[in-house]
Amino acid sequence: MKINGRHYRTIWVKKDDPSVIQAIDQRFLPHELIIEDLKDVDAMAAAISEMHVRGAGLIGAAAGYGMYLAALHAPASSEEAFMSAILDAGEKLKATRPTAVNLEWAVNRTLEAIKVEKGIENKIIAARKTADAIADEDADSCRKIGEFGLSVIEEISRRKNGEPVNILTHCNAGWLAFVDYGTATAPIYAAHEKDIKVHVYVDETRPWNQGGRLTAFELGQNNVPHTIVTDNAAGHLMQRGMVDMVIVGSDRTTATGDVANKIGTYLIALAAHANGIPFYVALPSSTIDWKIRDGIREIPIEKRSENEVKYVRGRTEDGRTETALITPKDSPAANYAFDVTPSYFVTALITEKGICPATEEGITRLFWKA
């Protein structure tokens, strides 16, 4: 997608220096566009855990490139020494963030590709090819999600005789959370490109403000009409008939259609259910954890530092970036990063293969049956 009219992905191999991975450092958006050079697996692991890069698809791609960086720097004295360093790197990357399954999936996929090759040179080539494939497939899946999800927006637009379709989204399941296009935003961009009138309510998404900082930034950069609202406004907007549909992303989806997404998603699903508003989840199949069936019991929920709740970072009028304490200094805070929305609150899943009910049967039919 575009920043100041120029197309960017969120992560890529540096032109003219394939030993360096470059990524947009999202801690500085929307005020500054900073591109970070990542040169080894430790730097990549820190970038993931400290959220320079974030979002399910992007941390999957970052993990793939982290494995490639690990392969570049692993000891070449013997295949055993090389593989031992690679396995350690995989564990290090997997430990960075527990909820999004893409991370573990990307590490395992790259590991398998490295293992089957003979000779260190070939193993390094396999790591690079796999990381590139993960990134390209992520972008491609998101583009297809946009095409499928467009039909949902088109249908509502027809019903409203071309009046703007009001869409509420939470967190950032936009292109910044993936390699390109995004999931929840991809149908919105597709509709906007087709001149279907849309307007997006962007939940601010405390405490890290992915909505207010990132989703608003990318919608603005792509000229999509939007309004930032506080997280607790959703119920009010829905009661007043101001929301036609909700669309969010997913960090891990069970084989039965339960969805883990940014904290606060469950409350929005409850409000949508109570108000008869369709609640869609857009996701690439890389976020489906086929091994698990009960999201509430089985999806690990990340707990992050209390400082993310107690402090806010922002830009002063004179252009300085400042961090300010907004709570009593000694009050403890709990920072749960995700919650689980049970499948029965989900109207449908929008995936790269098509749209299906959020049920085991619906998902199985879409992905496993011809």
Distance CA 132, CA 275 (A): 43
CB of 253 to ligand MRU, least distance (A): 10
CB of 99 to ligand MRU, least distance (A): 8
Cα 272-275-280 angle, rounded to 5 deg: 30
Instruction: Encode 211-260 in three state secondary structure.
Output: HHHHHHHHHHHCCCCEEEECHHHHHHHHHCCCCCEEEECCCEEECCCCEE
Distance CA 245, CA 356 (A): 16
Q: Does 224 bind ligand MRU (CB under 6 A)?
A: no
Distance CA 30, CA 11 (A): 17
Q: Residue holding tokens 């575009």?
A: 2
CB of 129 to ligand MRU, least distance (A): 24
Q: Does 264 bind ligand MRU (CB under 6 A)?
A: no
Q: Which stretches within 165-206 are classed as H helix?
A: 186-193
251 alpha carbon, distance to own chain's centre: 7
How many Cβ atoms from other residues are within 10 Å of residue 367's Cβ? Answer: 16
CB of 67 to ligand MRU, least distance (A): 19
CB of 183 to ligand MRU, least distance (A): 6
Q: Which of these, 72, 29, 83, 32, lies nearest to 53 by C-alpha position?
A: 29
Q: Does 22 bind ligand MRU (CB under 6 A)?
A: no
Nearer to ligand MRU, 215 or 222 (CB): 215
Nearer to ligand MRU, 190 or 268 (CB): 268
Nearer to ligand MRU, 51 or 86 (CB): 51
Half-sphere exposure of 304 (CA within 13 A, CB side): 20
Say how many residues touch ligand MRU, by CB under 6 A: 17
Which region among 131-139, 218-226, 247-255, 347-355 touches ligand MRU (by CB under 6 A)? 247-255
Interacting residues with ligand MRU between 48 and 87 (CB under 6 A) = 54-57
CB 176 within 8 A of CB 10: yes
End-to-end CA distance of the chain: 33
Q: Does 173 bind ligand MRU (CB under 6 A)?
A: yes
Biggest CA–CA distance in the chain, Å, is 68
Give the nearest residue (CB) to ligand MRU: 249
Interacting residues with ligand MRU between 300 and 359 (CB under 6 A) = 337
Active-site residue, 330 included = no
CB of 72 to ligand MRU, least distance (A): 26
Q: Does 249 bind ligand MRU (CB under 6 A)?
A: yes
Nearer to ligand MRU, 96 or 157 (CB): 96
Instruction: Out of 70, 106, 177, 350, name the contact with ligand MRU by CB under 6 A.
Output: 177
Q: Does 209 bind ligand MRU (CB under 6 A)?
A: no
DSSP tally for the chain: helices H, then strands E = 12, 18
Distance CA 312, CA 70 (A): 34
Tokens of 120: 């260190």
Instruction: Out of 22, 96, 166, 183, name the contact with ligand MRU by CB under 6 A.
Output: 183
Question: Which residue out of 25, 180, 231, 251 is catalytically annotated?
Answer: 251
Q: Does 248 bind ligand MRU (CB under 6 A)?
A: yes
CB of 305 to ligand MRU, least distance (A): 12
Interacting residues with ligand MRU between 104 and 143 (CB under 6 A) = none
Nearer to ligand MRU, 107 or 114 (CB): 107
CB 173 within 8 A of CB 183: yes
Which region among 87-95, 120-128, 245-253, 362-370 touches ligand MRU (by CB under 6 A)? 245-253
Active site residues: 251
List interacting residues with ligand MRU (CB under 6 A).
54-57, 171-173, 177, 183, 210, 248-251, 261-262, 337
